[in-house]
């Protein structure tokens, strides 16, 4: 099986690491980390500064608009790493012919009536084994979150509460994000514990979670494995 070809739409911080210190915590970095399975072949980015930075750093071509970039690069997978209010416009320009999957940065807010390819929404905590353990073996209970009052932070934990099937209490805090999970009383009684777990500094290794989420999307495409975070 040959490598999949990947294109990142949006060469900002999360897509390409623009003005960001950690390549691993980006879509481009995940493609590079899994280069035995997938090849980053280019970006689509209309902003000249971001486009130049992505081309210089990742050594792949950058196209200004979606139709031209997709026609030239012929990707199997696209990452969509634009702002929420730009997503609809991107989806309207996608050519699904030959496309095998989409890696969609959160939050996914585009109004899409139907999509003929799988979409993996990058709620990265779903790719972490510790978080998966709670979802699969201890769902229910309550989640207390101390985090910033913005859509990019809140959406992660609204999704996590869905993943864990638990109650969410969100408390605004402008420092490093932290959260506490308390298991149901039934689990506490069974496990002879207070059922509390503490997660600090975001709770995960972002680079490892990005690789895991991308790997799961590739497994879904190649083997039919169930997606961890489908649209």
Task: Please report, for the chain, the start and end positions of each structural domain, with discontinuous segments joined by +.
Answer: 4-123+206-223, 129-199
Q: What letters, b where the CB count within 10 A reaches 16 and e where it falls short, cover 60-70?
A: bbbbeebeebb
Q: How far apart are CA 100 and CA 113, in angstroms?
A: 18
**Would you state the pLDDT for residue 190?**
65
| HSE, side-chain direction, 13 A CA sphere, residue 90 | 25
Q: What letters, b where the CB count within 10 A reaches 16 and e where it falls short, cover 129-152?
A: eebeebbeebeebbbbbbbeeeee
Q: Which whole-number Å values give the CA distances from 174 to 51, 150, 181, in the listed order?
A: 31, 10, 20
Burial of 57 (0-12, 13-18, 19+ CB in 10 A): middle
**Would you state the pLDDT for residue 186?**
81
**Would you state the pLDDT for residue 1?**
56
**Would you state the pLDDT for residue 97?**
87
**Would you give the DSSP letter of residue 125?**
G
Q: How far apart are CA 3 and CA 14, in angstroms?
A: 23
**Would you state the pLDDT for residue 227?**
97
Q: Which whole-number Å values give the CA distances from 17 to 56, 98, 188, in the listed order?
A: 12, 27, 42
First to last CA, the chain: 26
**Residue 177 φ then ψ, to 5°:** -70, 135
Q: What's the length of the chain?
A: 231
CATH architecture of the domain with range 4-123+206-223: 3-Layer(aba) Sandwich (3.40)
| Structure token digits, residue 9 | 């739409």
Q: Give the pLDDT of the chain (231 residues) as one tens digit per residue.
A: 579 999 999 999 999 999 998 999 999 999 999 999 999 999 999 999 999 999 999 999 999 999 999 999 999 999 999 999 999 999 999 988 889 999 999 999 988 777 789 999 999 999 999 999 999 988 899 999 999 999 999 999 999 999 999 999 999 998 888 999 999 888 776 665 678 999 998 899 989 999 999 999 999 999 999 999 998
pTM reported for the whole predicted model: 0.94
| Structure token digits, residue 126 | 């779903």
């Amino acid at each position: 099986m040959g490598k999949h070809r990947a294109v990142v739409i949006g060469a900002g911080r999360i897509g390409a690491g623009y003005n960001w210190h950690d390549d691993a915590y980006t879509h481009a970095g995940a493609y590079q980390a899994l280069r035995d399975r997938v090849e980053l072949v280019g970006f689509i980015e209309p902003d000249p500064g971001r486009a130049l930075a992505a081309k210089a750093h990742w050594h792949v071509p950058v196209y200004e608009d979606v139709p031209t970039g997709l026609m030239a690069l012929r990707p199997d997978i696209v990452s969509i790493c634009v702002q929420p209010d730009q997503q609809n416009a991107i989806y309207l320009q996608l050519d699904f012919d030959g496309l095998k999957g989409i890696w969609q940065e959160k939050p996914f807010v585009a109004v899409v009536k139907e999509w003929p390819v799988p979409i993996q929404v990058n709620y990265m905590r779903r790719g972490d084994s510790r978080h998966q353990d709670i979802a699969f073996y201890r769902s229910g209970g309550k989640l207390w979150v101390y985090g910033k009052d913005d859509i990019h932070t809140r959406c992660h934990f609204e999704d996590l509460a869905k993943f864990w099937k638990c109650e969410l209490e969100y408390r605004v805090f402008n420092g490093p994000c932290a959260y506490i999970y308390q298991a149901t009383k039934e689990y506490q009684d069974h496990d002879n514990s207070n059922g509390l777990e503490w997660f600090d500094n975001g709770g995960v290794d972002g680079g490892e979670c990005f690789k895991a989420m991308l790997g799961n999307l590739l497994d879904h495409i190649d083997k039919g494995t169930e997606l961890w975070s489908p649209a």
